[in-house]
Structure 1
Amino acid sequence: MVPSCDPNDKEGGLKLVEDLTTNANGVQQQTLEEILAQNLETGYLRGFLNGSTEKEMFKKNVPIVNYEDVKPYIERIANGEPSEIISAQPITELLTSSGTSGGQPKMMPTTVEDLDRKTFLYNLLVPVMNRYVDGLDEGKGMYLLFIKPEIGTPSGLTARPVLTSYYKSKNFRNRPFNRFNVYTSPDETILCLDSKQSMYCQLLCGLIQRDEVLRVGAVFASAFLRAIKFLEDNWKELCSNIRMGNVSDWITDPSCRNAVLNILRSPNSELADLIESMCNVKSWDGIIKKLWPKTKYVDVIVTGSMAQYISTLDFYCGGLPLVSTMYASSECYFGINLNPLSKPGDVSYTLLPNMAYFEFIPVEKSGASTQGVDCNGDLSLNCSLKHVDDEEDVRGEAVDLVEVKTGHYYELVVTTFTGLYRYRVGDILMVTGFYNNAPQFRFVHRKNVVLSIDTDKTNEEDLLNAITKAKIFVEPLGCLLTEYTSFPDTASIPGHYVLFWELKMKGNEDLPDLESSIMQQCCYTMEESLDYVYRRCRTKDKSIGPLEIRVVKHGAFDALMDFCVSQGSSVNQYKTPRCIKSDEALEILNAWVVGSFFSKKPPLWEPFRIEAK
């Protein structure tokens, strides 16, 4: 059973946190027992456990798996087979993950009860934030929340992103009345499928109610910055709507339009003039504090790949605290930040032991390689993580939640109530300490991901595949691609992928002037070759800008290696980093650039379909 948590009961909520973290080991064992007892007769577990619910039997016989291992079971359910293949409770929908497999989103099973479990975690955030920030019940939150399209499956189950699932649920619509849960955005604007209309209407409502706003945010830092850029482009029209007391004609979604008009109500030239005076300036430094003067913090995820946006957020938000409240994924909601006002680089999440059964595969640091990139943005000369990938070793080394050690690195493995058993999430975490008896973790990075701007996660294999297809266009010119690296450029909004290509002629000739059309085709081909989520972000969501290739002269990567060696890297074991975030390293490569080229059109994108088999 999911414990009850009333967001209006501050003391009760904090007591729940104390109880769960104090008895972390006991709650974990009880959680595993409940999962096994409930799902023992599923087709998946029956073959491994032979009727036993013993933890030792579970850890000995049930293998640690990845998505490719469980994908056939999930696809069978999507095609109409019963949930009992993996879950005793009916699977009510499939959650599409931002991680990809074969160019398509992963699909994760979920149930009605799991929706209650997510709601429990959201409700628990309220007393935690109230513990650190006073007066949150005296105003509203301007949260910019969006949904994405749904996908039908042959079984009739809906497949959609986890946040879309939650925002469209009765749990969200009927959330307990609490000023913390009151948003400036009416539900109708959040549920509008046209992202441009949704963004415009949510910002309009937020500006109208500016004096009531005590916190602002979005789920990810990238989405919040995209909203600021949208505001930069549309503030004149927004002010005109406020001044005239009406909504622009292009807002055609009737529910959305009516909801906004209920808030706008009448002309307000005084407010329009005030907002106009704040926006019509040369610099938008601190614009969030100016437009919403009572704001106490900015609620956005700034851990993991979102850390690259911290300096830009600081510029626009004028030093307001950046708060990452929770750690979650499509597979499972994991835990919360019990010290929400900590600096972004110090954020640690406490995994709640009743959310799932957690195990951890140790990963060790390798000081010899330059392949990794430090999560704080510096070139990682000693931060590459060597993974223990041998299956026999993995089974023996996976440890329980309370057995992890401070300062050590682990890959997260979950067993959920919804049909995932010993599933490798792919997140690398570092233990920073304990709260009572529950460990706290810092998110280090997503395993194997080298580039990310928004919800995209491009790994080294995908990047190499895209480059291999693109470089074909320069080979007829006699050019060889001798080296490459990349970085996510977030200096502009939206951010975009940048590739450094070192090209050399097959003979001894100097590199000729490259035709823009050929290099633009290389850029486009790379984008076409990247996965479904990248193409959706680039084409439909427009949360990623055009891919850029910067061609560098022969010798640029020798200069990069010299820099790395000067910083302590071993010459014998040096490998070109495939993603760079060090300012010094980027300066070196940029000094060798002889040409910069962008993709001139977005890649093709269509919503994927699940075909019956």
Structure 2
Amino acid sequence: MSLSSKLDELEELTSNAKQIQDDVLEEILKVNTNTEYLRRFLGGRSDKEFFKKNVPVVSYEDVRPYIERVAKGEPSDVISGEPITHFLISIERVAKGEPSDVISGEPITHFLISSGTSGGKQKIFPVNKKYFENFAFICALRSSILSKHIDGVEGGKVLTFLNIGLLSTTPSGLPIASAVTSFLMSDIDGFKKRDSVSVTLGGPNLELADLIEHACSQKSWEGIITRLWPNVKSIQSIVTGQMSQYIPILEFYSNKLPLISMTYASSEAVFGLNLNPLCKPQDVSYTFIPSMSYFEFLPVDARDNDEIVDLVNVKLGCFYEVLVTNHFGLYRYRMGDILQVNGFYNAAPQFKFIRRRNIVLSIQVEATTEEDVLLALNNARLVLESSGLMLMGFTCYSDVSSVPGHYVLYWELRTKNFNGIVKLDNKVMVECCYVVEESFDDSYKRFRSRYGSIGALEIRVVQQGTFDSIMEYFISAGASPSQYKTPLSVNSPEVLAILEDRVLARFFSDKSPPFLGEGSKDGSQEAANQRQSN
């Protein structure tokens, strides 16, 4: 399909978002209303308002027993051991020729597995061919958008690094793998790997090998990407959420090439695209494509489900948790992603990823979120860089083994020079501790500074390679290399043991951050401005 026709399709989809969303839900309910799961709430009805009134909002633990039954090969509630009334209903449905599958009226063909590094446990999600069709459509649309914004990209080459894991199977014999592995090994995917690359690259090239060796043997690898590929136009990578911590590293290696974060997708659903790919990483937002799944939005801090709104009814500037109803067995499923509406493209809203719903750190009743930690980290990074150091990896946890408890950050550092020796300046590291604390909100500062019930923040510097060891631990436990994300916070005894075994030095904040009083959400920014002016 041509560039213009794909972009025309984007215009049609986003202009008719409400009707398309209604059509998607109607299609989902038509196929799935007689599944065991939905029949409990709908009794065979399939209208939108009845669905919104009666089907509950759920998390993974609510639907896990159903998913596991499908993975084991149970096709219907006839064999599920339900009470006799459900058994009789099932007999009637089978006699009438009605489908009675557990969660999906159409066959499940694959299971996608999450990395397990965000929430601490791996999850599996049922999908069918529709998921891969959606993913292929988004990939094609993504290419059209990039071609519109970057001259010559459609005639150039793309170097993509993908970690493909081995396929395993569920007890019922269905394939189970990460989303990337499943997509690349599906019939939908249009390319297969090593032979095609070999044909493109040709045979050995000794002259080119010498040039690469020379480039890599320089004192610093700053700008190494542009030295190896002088015609490179951009880098595509996820740079939102907890992955934003790697933006400075990517900029260091790439001479600040445009960092493009194009797609918002997960094992549960494909959501949307960044229609302004050349924007700054901190300004990335994703336009939801209404044909992918049925989307609803729960306002952050909402007290009841009556406040849930449809895709086209979200309000500019407001924060929501996205709910997904898809074609393969998830209904009003809480994703755990907190998004902010920051614009509209035609009738389709655009969302900025803010954080995961989980609280990352807490000692008392303060709630330090993923967003809080990443903001504090970026502020401290400025202090680090002034001393020639780079933060290569980090994680944190709430240490309550002593009183008062305190926050601990594990940092892996290296110099900007490739083989430089990391020299830790006590003054610099203590200042980093303070800047992190100063960046937190007044809830933290109240307990830290006024009441003394949170102790001084601690940074523990670990050996180089520590976070590679943590990645290897998770992969050995079943995590997919292509989906791995360093956990933002840890509570696993095994991971903490890896970290503690590699601690080189410990530093503590030497003063309490200023507490500016009740209700001052901008207190951290005011304090930072005051420190800068001094």
Shift of 1:121: 1.0
> What code does the residue aligned with 1:563 have?
P
After superposition, the C-alpha distances for 1:105-142 in whole angstroms (9 at most, x for unaligned) are: 11111001221111111111111111111111222101
On the 8 A contact 2:178/2:483 being kept in 1, the answer is no
Partner SS for 2:405: strand
Give the SS at the match of 1:171: coil
Q: CA RMSD in A?
A: 4.1
Does residue 482 of the first structure (1) align with residue 404 of the second (2)? Answer: yes
Choose which of 332, 351, 361 in structure 1 pairs with 2:269.
332
Q: Name the residue aligned to 2:184.
A: 167
Q: Deviations over 1:510-552 (max 9, x none)?
A: xxxxxx9xx99xx99x979x99579666999998695255886
Match runs of 1:197-216 below 5 Å: none
Distance 2:513 2:476 in 1: 32
Instruction: State the one-letter code of the partner of 1:92.
Output: T
Amino acid at match of 1:423: Y
Could you say which residue in structure 1 is the equivalent of 2:377? Answer: none
CA contact (8 A) 1:91 1:109 kept: yes
Q: Distance in 2 between matches of 1:547 and 1:398?
A: 42
Q: Distance in 1 between matches of 2:479 and 2:180?
A: 16
CA distance in 1 between counterparts of 2:479 and 2:103 reads 32
Instruction: Specify every segment of 5 or more residues in structure 1 that has no aligned partner in the other structure, as ranges.
Output: 1-5, 176-186, 190-257, 364-386, 472-479, 501-515, 574-579, 588-613
Q: With structure 2 as the length reference, what TM-score do the two structures score?
A: 0.69
Provide the residue aligned with 1:53 in structure 2. 46
- Identify which of 309, 312, 317 aligns with 2:246: 309
State the alpha-carbon separation in 1 of the partners of residues 67 and 483 from structure 2.
27
User: Cα–Cα, structure 1 residues 302 and 482, in superposed 2: closer, same or farther, change >3 Å?
Assistant: same
Shift of 1:279: 1.6
Indicate yes or no: 2:363 matched with 1:426: no
Q: Give the residue type in structure 2 aligned to 1:323.
A: I
Distance in 1 (alpha carbons) for counterparts of 2:202 and 2:210: 17
Is this contact kept in 2: 1:323–1:344, CA < 8 A? Answer: yes
Inter-CA distance 286–421: structure 2 relative to 1 (3 Å threshold): same
Quote the residue 2:29 is aligned against.
36
Matched, 1:547 2:499: yes
2:104 to 77, 87, 97: 87
Letter in 1 for 2:499: L
CA–CA distance in 2 between the matches of 1:541 and 1:108? 15
Give how far 1:557 is off. 6.4
Aligned counterparts, 1:434-583, within 5 A: 434-448=344-358, 450=360, 463=397, 480=402, 482-487=404-409, 489=411, 491-492=413-414, 546-548=498-500, 556=508, 559=511, 562-565=512-515, 568=516, 570=518
Structure 1 residues 541 and 283: CA distance shift in structure 2, 3 A? same
Q: What is the correspondence of 1:1-40 to structure 2 with a 5 Å cutoff?
A: 6=1, 9-40=2-33
Corresponding position of 1:129: 146
1:238-249 pair list within 5 angstroms: none
SS of 1:98 mapped into structure 2: coil
- Judge conservation of contact 1:537–1:543 (CA < 8 Å) in 2: no
Q: Which residue of 2 aligns with 1:603?
A: none
Which one-letter code corresponds to 1:434 in the other structure?
F
- C-alpha deviation, 1:103, in angstroms: 5.2
Which residue in the other structure is 1:376 paired with? none
Task: Give the residue type in structure 1 aligned to 2:329.
Answer: G
Deviations 1:191-225 (A, max 9, x none): xxxxxxxxxxxxxxxxxxxxxxxxxxxxxxxxxxx
Structure 2: which 5+ runs fail to align?
A: 77-100, 361-369, 375-393, 416-428, 434-459, 487-494
Write the distance in 1 (CA, Å) between the matches of 2:179 and 2:270: 10
Q: 2:255 aligns with which of 291, 314, 318?
A: 318
Map Cα deviations across residues 443-491 of structure 1 (whole Å, 9 max, x no partner): 00111163799xxxx999xx56xx67xx5xxxxxxxx353231446464
Alignment partner of 2:71 out of 75, 78, 87? 78
Cα separation, 2, equivalents of 1:537 and 1:47: 34
Would you say the 8 A contact 2:298–2:322 is kept in 1? Answer: yes
1:31-52 per-residue CA deviation (whole Å, 9 max, x = no partner) reads 1111111111111111211222
Write out per-residue CA displacement over residues 218-267 of structure 1, whole angstroms, 9 at most, x where no aligned residue: xxxxxxxxxxxxxxxxxxxxxxxxxxxxxxxxxxxxxxxx7766556544
Give the Cα separation in 2 of the matches to 1:538 and 1:171. 21
Kept after mapping to 2: 8 A contact 1:92/1:111? yes
2:214 paired residue number = 277
CA separation of 1:324 and 1:108: change in aligned 2, threshold 3 A: same
In structure 1, C-alpha distance between the alignment counterparts of 2:480 and 2:180, rounded to whole Å: 20
Query: Is this contact kept in 2: 1:74–1:109, CA < 8 A?
Result: yes
> Residues 114 and 479 of structure 2 are in contact (CA less than 8 Å); yes or no, is this contact kept in structure 1?
no
Q: Where does residue 174 of structure 2 map in the other structure?
A: 157
Letter in 1 for 2:262: T
CA pair 527-482 structure 1, distance change in 2 beyond 3 A: farther
In 1: Cα distance, 2:331 partner to 2:104 partner: 10
What is the DSSP-based 3-state SS (H/G/I as helix, E as strand, rest coil) of the residue aligned with 1:440?
strand
Matches of 1:109 and 1:148 in 2, distance apart?
A: 18
How far is 1:413 from its partner? 0.5
CA 1:531–1:440: 2 relative to 1, 3 Å: farther
Match of 2:159, SS? strand
Give distance in 1, aligned partners of 2:245 and 2:183: 27
Contact 2:298–2:307 (8 Å) recurs in 1: yes
The whole-number CA distance in structure 2 between the counterparts of 1:341 and 1:541 is 24
> AA paired with 2:407?
T
Counterpart contact for 1:95–1:108, Cα < 8 Å = yes
**Deviation digits for residues 43-70 of structure 1 (CA, Å, limit 9, x no counterpart):** 1111211222221101110000000000
Counterparts of 1:320 and 1:260, CA distance in 2: 25
8 Å CA contact 1:66–1:423 kept in 2: the answer is yes
CA contact (8 A) 1:309 1:490 kept: no
SS in 2 for 1:170: coil
Question: Residue 550 and residue 24 in structure 1: after superposition, are their counterparts in 2 closer, same or farther (change >3 A)?
Answer: farther
Contact 2:117 2:485 in 1 (8 A): no
* 1:547 maps to amino acid: L
Which residue type is aligned with residue 127 of structure 2? T
Question: Take 1:142 and 1:319, find their aligned partners in 2: how far apart are those partners?
Answer: 18
Do the aligned residues in 1 keep the contact of 2:395 with 2:410 (CA within 8 Å)? no
Partner AA of 1:20 in structure 2: L
Q: Distance in 2 between matches of 1:543 and 1:318?
A: 24
Structure 1 residues 360, 550: closer, same or farther in 2, change over 3 A? farther
- Kept in 2: contact 1:104–1:531 (CA 8 A): no
Change in Cα spacing, 1:557 to 1:135, as seen in structure 2 (3 Å) is closer
Q: What's the counterpart of residue 236 of structure 1?
A: none
CA contact (8 A) 1:405 1:431 kept: yes
Per the alignment, residue 299 of structure 1 pairs with: 236
Q: Give CA-to-partner distance per residue, 1:485-508, whole Å, 9 cap, x none.
A: 144646459xxxx9x9xxxxxxxx
CA-to-partner distance for each residue in 1:294-320, whole Å, 9 max, x for gaps?
Answer: 111101110111111111111111121
